[in-house]
Amino acid sequence: MADVTPTSSQEKSGRAKPAPKGKAEAKKPHTNGNSTDTTGLRTKTDRPLTSAGQEVELEANAKITSNEVCVYYGDKQALFDVNLDILGNQVTALIGPSGCGKSTYLRCLNRMNDVIDIARVTGDIIVDGIDIYDPEVDVVELRARVGMVFQKPNPFPKSIYENVAYGPRIHGLASSKNDMDEIVESSLKRAGLWKEVHDRLHEPGTGLSGGQQQRLCIARAIAISPSVILMDEPCSALDPIATAIVEELIEELRQNYTIVIVTHSMQQAARVSQRTAYFHLGYLVEYGETEQIFQAPSDERTQNYITGRIG
Ligand SMILES: Nc1ncnc2c1ncn2[C@@H]1O[C@H](COP(=O)(O)OP(=O)(O)OP(=O)(O)O)[C@@H](O)[C@H]1O
Ligand SMILES: [Mg+2]
């Protein structure tokens, strides 16, 4: 399971935090003058960005860094100063009682909170060295790089083929019908669904079973070659067999993607993740290797939650 060595809590995460900075400075767009962007994520002006205007030391292999992230819905604060490094090619589980801010935090990572009128996000989130809250970041492109799979399978009311082809088409990823056929086939194969659907590609996606629909949604997410996949309770509507299939898939996918998964199942977090973050009342209480979090949590609140005393 766990294959990294660092850290047990965010205080001990080993990540050098950036020097304190004024908010005006934090939000100032800036360039670094060279083009080392490895994500393909570009601003609308095609201008590579550094993080928020100054050096931010990332933990080695940190794919996503959150600095002092707060989220407000109107006057109500839902997340408080979250500092968290998510490592590449690993599965990070977000756990905690209902209402503690797991989905809110997950949505911050591809700016899905932007679509909630009353939501306001402060702090910085850096994906592959890019401050994704920089006003010049192209949000459509960001969401292609940081894809999302939701709790309830939500295939489009279109054929299986079209569900997968839709994203690549709007992002111009296929130059011919053959290209598109290949993308659809390889995405369905990577999502472990090809064998079940190859002879019914033009039937409606909504006609699949729940577990198949969720794998179709995963195929749809990976068809546009994201580097990060966010999953918000992806198995909660699935039976144990479909859940086991999706969990196996998650383990395979992490070879190529960074996965952040919200789950209410302790067993699932223990099975699929290498790192676990425990949230409580809007605070990130504890973060570390999954094994350590489950076997020797350092915070009493985590201990109470994983032993079923709260939540
Ligand atoms: N769109 C919204 N408008 C107003 N408040 C919201 C909104 N979404 C979430 N909240 C509030 O923010 C807090 C965190 O909610 P969030 O959905 O992130 O929790 P969660 O940990 O995902 O919970 P659950 O396990 O039940 O899904 C809660 O108090 C919730 O009521
Ligand atoms: Mg939620």
218 falls within a domain: no
Least confident of 54-58, 141-145, 248-252, 303-307: 54-58
Task: Please compute the mean of the pLDDT values over residues 96-108 and round it to a whole number.
Answer: 97
In three-state secondary structure terms, 305 is helix
| In the chain, % of residues over pLDDT 90 | 75
CA dihedral 54, 57, 62, 63 (to 10 degrees): 10
Helix axes 160-170, 177-190, angle to 10 degrees: 120
Residue 102 Cβ < 6 Å to ligand 1: yes
Q: Contact, 291 vs 1, CB < 8 A? A: yes
CATH of the domain at 129: 3.40.50.300
pLDDT of residue 242: 86
Band of residue 161 on the pLDDT scale cut at 50, 70, 90: very high
Domain count, the chain: 1
65 falls within a domain: yes
Q: Does 166 have pLDDT greater than 70? A: yes
Q: Does 165 have pLDDT greater than 80? A: yes
CA of 104 to the centre of ligand 1 (A): 6
114 falls within a domain: yes
Q: Contact, 186 vs 160, CB < 8 A? A: no
Q: Does 85 have pLDDT greater than 50? A: yes
Q: What is the largest CA-CA distance in the chain?
A: 58
pLDDT of residue 19: 34
Q: Tell me the pLDDT of the chain averaged across its residues.
A: 84
Pocket test of ligand 1: the residue of 103, 121, 260, 283 to mutate, having most ligand atoms within 8 Å of its CB, is 103
Residue 73 Cβ < 6 Å to ligand 1: yes
Residue 100 Cβ < 6 Å to ligand 1: yes
Q: Could you give the CA distance from residue 205 to residue 157 in angstroms, rounded to a whole number?
A: 7
293 falls within a domain: yes
Least confident of 42-51, 71-80, 106-115: 42-51
Nearest CA to ligand 1 atom 1: 116
148 falls within a domain: yes
Amino acid found at 66? S
pLDDT of residue 61: 78
222 falls within a domain: no
pLDDT of residue 2: 38
Domain ranges, residue 244: 46-154+227-306
pLDDT of residue 59: 57
CA of 263 to the centre of ligand 2 (A): 9
Band of residue 276 on the pLDDT scale cut at 50, 70, 90: very high
How many other C-beta atoms lie within 10 A of the C-beta of residue 87?
A: 19
Could you report the per-residue pLDDT of 216-242, keeping only the tens digit for each? 999 999 999 999 999 999 999 888 988
pLDDT of residue 239: 87
Nearest CA to ligand 1 atom 8: 104
